[in-house]
Amino acid sequence: MKKRWSRIDGCAVLLLFVGVLSAIPAGAREAVDMAGRRITLPESLQRVYVASPPENHLACAIDPSLMVGLNFPLKERDRKFLSPDLWHLPVIGGFFGLGHTPNLEVLLKARPQLVICWQKTAIDTQFDAFLRRFDIPIAYFTLERLQDYPQNIRVMGRLLGRSQRSEKLAVYAEQTLQEILPKVEAIPEAQRVRVYYAEGADGLSTDGRGTWHAELIDLAGGINVHPGDEADLYGMEKISLEQVLLYRPEVMLVQEPSFYQRVFTSPQWRHVPAVKNRRVYLIPRVPFNWFDRPPSFMRLLGLKWLAHTLYPQRFDINMQKEMREFYRLFMQVEISPQDTRNILHDGEEQVHE
């Protein structure tokens, strides 16, 4: 499986999107996906299904009215931060590890004019053949490295016929990377913070350096204490508490609220430096996770949050202001100061009361 999409390949794909291609039926247009495949789409695209969460979330941000189904049910608390176009869509499922596949019956009932799927694997080849039986075009689209997002957002916008909207999101992504990454590069190695990414109900699953699930640690200037397995796309390696103690992380990033609420009172965890110094942070996750599971466009906001969390003196960021701007642009909703506090501290209240 090809895991990386080079910048050179990306530029070629973008040029093909812009080019005028021949032999396109009336009322249709031709596009090229990230696998280099030419696909014919309706000129006025109105119904789209996206089979993988990172791409699904981006398509929702570009134009939620296009979506015909969800990968998984929306949580009630998330609805106020998402377009009503998404609230009552059927759950079609998708390809996101552990044997998950789309519900084909529900998919056909949704009548998509385009299906977008992550990478081309043996499973997806069967899926492709199934869709061809019903003349439903499929486009392959890969979102991995955050630094590729400006270009990838533009490509997604062209695929969906929403270039003007996607350009605004791409510019935000560019500005975020330009704001954060040069400052990170200036941090001396000896001053970088050691970080452990705690996943699972027991905090003993993790993803290591170089993996796309934990990419934000590297981008925000932290040192991921776990080496990791870059080839493992699903991740969540199991490790022992003894290993965490040996890693001696200065900061812990926690996915599960249930673990976060126990970690400060656990005699097993109290000797971990991050716990002892109360530098344990629950990752924000409304309406989508800011860090991982899935690693989506929300990581643009998550990068600012994490850089500020690790190095508050170097990154003097007003997170409430940043959140209001981000949610207005990407989710097209206005959030209140109370909303920002709730999102930033959701799940932490019981610990700090």
CATH 3.40.50.1980 spans which residues of the chain?
Answer: 7-172, 187-352
pLDDT-derived band at 25, boundaries 50, 70, 90 = low
| CA 124 and chain centroid, separation | 21
Tracing tokens 């969800």 back to the chain, one arrives at 70
What does the DSSP 8-state code read for residue 63?
-
**In the prediction, which pLDDT does 93 show?**
96
Q: Per-residue pLDDT tens for 113-133?
A: 999 998 655 566 788 899 999
Cis amide bond preceding 227, omega within 30 = no
Q: What is the mean pLDDT of residues 135-139?
A: 94
pLDDT-derived band at 244, boundaries 50, 70, 90 = very high
User: Is 31 strand, coil or helix?
Assistant: strand
**In the prediction, which pLDDT does 234 show?**
76
Third-level CATH fold of 187-352? Rossmann fold (3.40.50)
Q: Which of 92-106, 138-152, 169-183, 233-247 has the lowest mean pLDDT?
A: 92-106
**In the prediction, which pLDDT does 351 show?**
57
Q: What is the mean pLDDT of residues 235-246?
A: 96
**In the prediction, which pLDDT does 230 show?**
62
CATH class of 7-172: alpha beta
Exposure b/e, 157-188, CB count within 10 A at least 16 = b: bbbbbbbebbeebbebbeebbeebbeebeebe
**In the prediction, which pLDDT does 277 show?**
97
**In the prediction, which pLDDT does 232 show?**
65
Q: What is the mean pLDDT of residues 307-325?
A: 97
